[in-house]
Amino acid sequence: MISRLEIENLALDRGGRRLFEGLSLQVSAGEAVALTGDNGAGKTSLLRAVAGLLRPSAGLIDFFGASGVLDPEEARSEGLHLVGHYDGLKGGRTAGEELSFWSAWTGGAPEAALEALDLIPLLGLEVRKLSAGQRRRLALARLVASPRALWLLDEPLAPLDARMRTRLGELMTAHVKGGGMILAAVHDPLPIPAREARVGA
């Protein structure tokens, strides 16, 4: 179980260009951090680096649990969720099939998420027929279906309507109150109290 994330002196390169360097950041249990920065500053890349999908050019990303430093691979596969622009949902399959698969893949059960994100009316629909907001809700369902300590969210609010933004805010509050952590790349402020960390500049 991850209870603290430490990023130390991190530098990331994409396509031969240095996105940022010297970035240090800590997220502790019960904390939400909003990553801000210009377009292309490296917010998404930072989230992908924390998830282990990008190799940092310099610096350290460490996960700590109750008993000290955790094995990064295990911490990532069992301790975090990444919800980004690309949601892994297949257009030709129904929302129910996709929700069922991704909850099984992350080791959870979809039932809890149905109610929380108001997904029941969508289950029989093909993913290609969903709106951007409905797709995002389906992707966010993973967060609820299989509880994990660290949420890495990339523009989670962008396509959601006002009611669902409030709903997601409630879910985030409950997550943080329960000792969870949120690291979210945003342009609009998060719907919950969050520390701001600037990327790039």
DSSP for 23-83, written as a single string: EEEEEETT-EEEEE--TTSSHHHHHHHHTTSS--SEEEEEEEETTEEPPHHHHHHHHEEEE
Which span sits near another protein by CB under 8 A: 17-25, 76-84, 161-169, 173-181? 76-84
Residue 53 DSSP SS3: coil
Site for another protein in 41-70 (CB under 8 A): 48, 51-55
Of 80 and 192, nearer to another protein (C-beta) is: 80
Which of 115/196 has CB closer to another protein? 115
φ/ψ bin of 58: left (φ > 0), alpha (ψ from -120 to 50), beta (otherwise): beta
Q: Where are the beta strands (DSSP E) in 53-103?
A: 58-65, 68-69, 80-83
Binding test (CB under 8 A) with another protein, winner from 107, 124, 179, 189: 107
Could you say which of 109, 121, 129, 196 contacts another protein (CB under 8 A)?
109
Please give the residues from 144 up to 183 whose contact with another protein meets the rule CB under 8 A. none
Q: Which of 198, 159, 199 is nearest to 14 (CA)?
A: 199
Contacts (CB under 8 A) with another protein, residues 84-103: 84-93, 96-97, 99-102
Query: By CB under 8 A, is residue 124 in contact with another protein?
Result: no
Neighbours of 172 (CB within 10 A): 22
Q: Which is nearer to another protein, 120 or 193 (CB)?
A: 120
Where on the chain is the footprint of another protein (CB under 8 A)? 48, 51-55, 76-78, 80, 82, 84-93, 96-97, 99-102, 104-111, 123
